[in-house]
Amino acid sequence: MEQINGSVQMECVLLYTFLEASSDCKFREQLHCLQSQGAMPFLTGSPYDDDVELQTDGNRGGRMQNGEPVFDHEVNEEVIRIIAAQLAEIGDRFDQEIKARVVNDLVQHFVNENLSGEEITQRLSEAVEGLVQAMPLDMEREKAMLVLAMVLTKKIANTMPSLLQRAFSTTVAYINQQLHNYLARLLRD
C-alpha cells in the first residue's frame, strides 16, 4: 500500500475504526497487521511529520494543503472514532441486506491482478450504487453509500482475509473520490 498522504488520512482512520468496531469481523489479526506494517503511520506513534513545528504556546502550527486544512490528528481522530462506531452499528444492520453474490463478484475483481486500482474502485462504486438503489433507505444517500462501501470491505475481507490490504486501499480511494466532502461535513457538524 502506498504511503498515505494528508488528504486521505481521515478516510483511513474512519475505515480502520469502522472495521475494528464492526461485529462479525473475522480478520482482526490482519487488520492489526495492516496498522503495524506502517500502512497507516498516523495511527501508530507520532501522527505528525517532522516539518510541523511547535508554536511558542505548545500547539502545532496549522498547515494548508491545496487550500484545505491538513488533517488535525489530535482534534479529528476522536470525532472520527465516534462517527465510525455509529456507522458500524448502521453497517451491522445493512450487513444482512447484502447478497453473497454481490460480495463474491467483488472478491473475483479484487483477486484479478490484471485490473488496475482505478478499475477495481469503479467496480466497488458500481456495487455501492446498485445496493443504494435496491435498498429502502431511511437516511441520506451519501451516508448510505459510505456505510455500504465500508460494509462491502468488511465482507470482502471476511470472505478472503488476504484481500484486506487491497480492499482497504480501494475503499479509501473510493471514499476520497466520491464522499470526501460529505465526510468533511460530517466531521464539522
Domain CATH code at residue 109 = 1.10.437.10
Q: How confident is the model at residue 35 (pLDDT cuts 50, 70, 90)?
A: confident
The answer as to whether 114 is a domain residue is: yes
Q: pLDDT tens digits, residue range 107-127?
A: 999 999 999 999 999 999 999
Q: Per the structure, how many domains does the chain have?
A: 1
Q: How confident is the model at residue 40 (pLDDT cuts 50, 70, 90)?
A: low
pTM of the model: 0.80
**Least confidently predicted of 75-84, 114-123, 126-135, 180-189:** 75-84
Higher confidence at residue 108 or residue 188? 108
The answer as to whether 113 is a domain residue is: yes
Phi and psi at residue 64, to the nearest 5°: -120, 145
Phi and psi at residue 68, to the nearest 5°: -115, 145
The answer as to whether 182 is a domain residue is: yes
The answer as to whether 165 is a domain residue is: yes
The answer as to whether 57 is a domain residue is: no
pLDDT of residue 76: 72
The boundaries of the domain holding residue 115 are 6-47+63-188
Mean pLDDT of all residues belonging to the chain = 80
Contact 35, 27 (CB under 8 A): no
- Distance (Å, rounded) from C-alpha 157 to C-alpha 107? 9
